[in-house]
Amino acid sequence: MSNVVYEQREVKRSRYAVAAVFAVHGAVTGSFATRVPWIQDHADVSAGQLGIALAFPALGASVAMPLAGSVSHRFGARNALRGLIALWTLSLVLPSLAPNLLTLCLALFTYGATAGMADVAMNALGVEVENRLGRSIMSGLHGMWSAGALVGSAAGTLAAHLGSDARLHHVLAAAVLTVVGVLSCQWVLDLQPAEDEEPPPRFALPPRSALLIGAIGFCAVFAEGASLDWSAVYLREQLETSAGLAAACTTGFTLTMAIARIAGDKIVDRFGAVRTVRASGVFAVLGGLLIVVAEHPAVAMSGFALMGLGIAVVVPLCFAAAGRSGSNPSLAIAGVATITYTSGLIAPSAIGMLAQATSLMVSFALVTLLSCGLVAFARVLRPGDRATISRPDAAVPDARP
Task: Indicate the range of 189-198, 236-245, 307-316 predicted with least confidence.
Answer: 189-198
How far is Cα 178 from Cα 173, in angstroms, rounded to an integer? 8
Q: What is the pLDDT of residue 383?
A: 63
CB 287 within 8 A of CB 303: yes
What pTM was estimated for this model as a whole?
A: 0.82
Give one DSSP letter per residue of 186-252, joined into a string: TTS------TTPPPPPSS-PPPHHHHHHHHHHHHHHHHHHHHHHHHHHIIIIIS---HHHHHHHHHH
Most confident of 66-75, 211-220, 387-396: 211-220
Predicted confidence band of residue 247 (pLDDT cuts 50, 70, 90): confident
Mean pLDDT of the chain: 86
How far is Cα 284 from Cα 367, in angstroms, rounded to an integer? 9
Res 38 pLDDT > 80:
yes
> How does pLDDT run across 341-352, given as a tens digit for each residue?
888 878 877 888
Query: Which residues make Cβ contacts (< 8 Å) with residue 351, sequence separation at least 6?
Result: 226, 229, 230, 360, 363, 364, 366, 367
How far is Cα 349 from Cα 311, in angstroms, rounded to an integer? 20
Q: What is the pLDDT of residue 388?
A: 38
Give one DSSP letter per residue of 24-87, joined into a string: HHHHHHHHHHTTHHHHHHHHT--HHHHHHHTTHHHHHHHHHGGGHHHHHHHH-HHHHHHHHHHH
Q: What is the pLDDT of residue 59?
A: 87
Predicted confidence band of residue 150 (pLDDT cuts 50, 70, 90): confident
**Residue of 2 and 23 predicted with greater confidence:** 23
Q: Give the domains, in start order, of the chain with CATH numbers.
A: 1-188 (1.20.1250.20), 204-383 (1.20.1250.20)
Rounded mean pLDDT of 286-306? Answer: 95
Q: What is the pLDDT of residue 198?
A: 65
Q: Measured in Å, how far apart are the chain's first and last C-alpha atoms?
A: 10
**Residue of 194 and 239 predicted with greater confidence:** 239
> How does pLDDT run across 165-195, given as a tens digit for each residue?
999 999 999 999 999 999 999 999 887 766 6
Task: Indicate the range of 94-108, 355-369, 386-400 predicted with least confidence.
Answer: 386-400
Helix axes 166-185, 138-161, angle to 10 degrees: 150
